[in-house]
Amino acid sequence: MSESIKIDIWSDIACPWCYIGKRKFEAGAAAFAEKAGADAPDVTIEYHSFELAPDTPVDFDGDEIDFLSTHKGMPADQVKGMLEHVTGIAEAAGLDYNFDVLKHTNTIKAHQLLHYAKAHGKQLEAKERLLKAYFTEGRHVGRIDDLADLAAEIGLDRDDVVRSLTEGEFLSDVRADQALGREYGIQGVPFFVIDGKYGVSGAQEAATFAQVLDQVWAQREEGATV
């Protein structure tokens, strides 16, 4: 089997397109693996921090329509229509968005939890759990105790998570991700860096991700035979 293909993904928990993009990438990676067969390389994923609205309070007083109306200066009716549109796209990707119960919050602590989870070999599980908690279940993902509860659900040590988030143990790692994102010129998420060479912006279709992976793999195979 070839050396694994590394996927670095910049995203935010409070980003509906990031969850949709996650599902579409997973579908694309599965299609690539099926087409490539037994010789397909592993696809390894690492998530990196990006804050869409770092000035958001931890306890925002209002719903998602209130937030977007204020933050983006959009009329409430327009925001409602936009959320309905996104909900439909999410449903087509197999996701159940529930903006009526969503608790908008600051995500800096959630990003620190993702780094903690990475250090303990559970970043992918943590990312999925946080996105589902936020977009589907209406769970709070901005407060330490709530995040620790979610971390415990995927097998992390709750007390140690509380300690880590209280101390800001991984805050510098979050800031390093953000700095690297700026170096790459990333201005919106999700943003996928494939094999350290190719950038793919947005929640592209699964076929697009499969095609890029196939292209990277083919170039590797060509290089190996030269």
pLDDT given for residue 224 in this prediction? 57
Question: pLDDT class for 1, splitting at 50, 70, 90?
Answer: very low
Largest Cα span, the chain? 61
pLDDT, one tens digit per residue, over 124-164 is 999 999 999 999 999 999 999 999 999 999 999 999 999 99
pLDDT, one tens digit per residue, over 152-201 is 999 999 999 999 999 999 999 999 999 999 999 999 999 999 999 899 99
What is residue 24's three-state secondary structure? helix
Q: What residue spans of 73-170 are helical by DSSP H?
A: 76-92, 108-119, 123-132, 144-153, 158-167
Domain limits, the chain: 5-224
pLDDT, one tens digit per residue, over 74-131 is 899 999 999 999 999 999 999 999 999 999 999 999 999 999 999 999 999 999 999 9
pLDDT at 221 over 80: no
Question: pLDDT class for 220, splitting at 50, 70, 90?
Answer: confident
Per CATH, the homologous superfamily of domain 5-224 is Glutaredoxin (3.40.30.10)
pLDDT given for residue 71 in this prediction? 80
Q: How many CB atoms lie within 10 A of CB 40?
A: 18
Kind and range of the H or E run holding 198: strand 198-201
Question: pLDDT class for 223, splitting at 50, 70, 90?
Answer: low
How far apart are alpha carbons 52 and 92 in whole angstroms?
24
Between strands 5-11 and 43-49, the pairing is: parallel
